[in-house]
């Protein structure tokens, strides 16, 4: 798949990790490196953390990585 730098989502100020799913859509982990305030959001399919107030970074990172490895949703299409 051809990726475009013009369709990448903007990076938020609290972005900790950006992964990419199978087709290149971003899966972002945001929040703090400590405490229980991390969340993940897939820019491809729109799936996200269920309870961000209860997630800590190691668990959030693992859930986001698992989602990114299975998700095939794309957030953009490029003309051919």
Q: What is the pLDDT of residues 20-37, one digit of tens each?
A: 999 889 999 999 888 778
And the tokens for 71? 């998700």
Looking at residue 19, what is its pLDDT?
94
Q: How many angstroms separate the CA atoms of 11 and 15, rounded? A: 6
* H/E segment holding residue 19: strand 15-20
Tell how far CA 39 is from the center of its chain. Answer: 9
In the chain, the largest separation of any two C-alpha atoms, in whole Å, equals: 46
- Location of structure tokens 């990790």: 17
Neighbours of 10 (CB within 10 A): 5
Whole-structure pTM over 0.75, yes or no? Answer: yes
Q: Tell me: pLDDT of 79 over 90.
A: no
């Amino acid at each position: 798949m051809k990726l475009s730098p013009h369709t990448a989502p903007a990076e938020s100020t609290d972005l900790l990790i950006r992964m990419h799913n199978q087709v290149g859509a971003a899966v972002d982990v945001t929040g703090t490196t400590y405490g229980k305030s991390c969340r993940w959001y897939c820019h491809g399919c729109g799936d996200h953390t269920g309870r961000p107030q209860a997630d800590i970074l190691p668990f959030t990172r693992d859930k986001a990585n698992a989602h990114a490895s299975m998700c095939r949703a794309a957030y953009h299409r490029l003309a051919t």
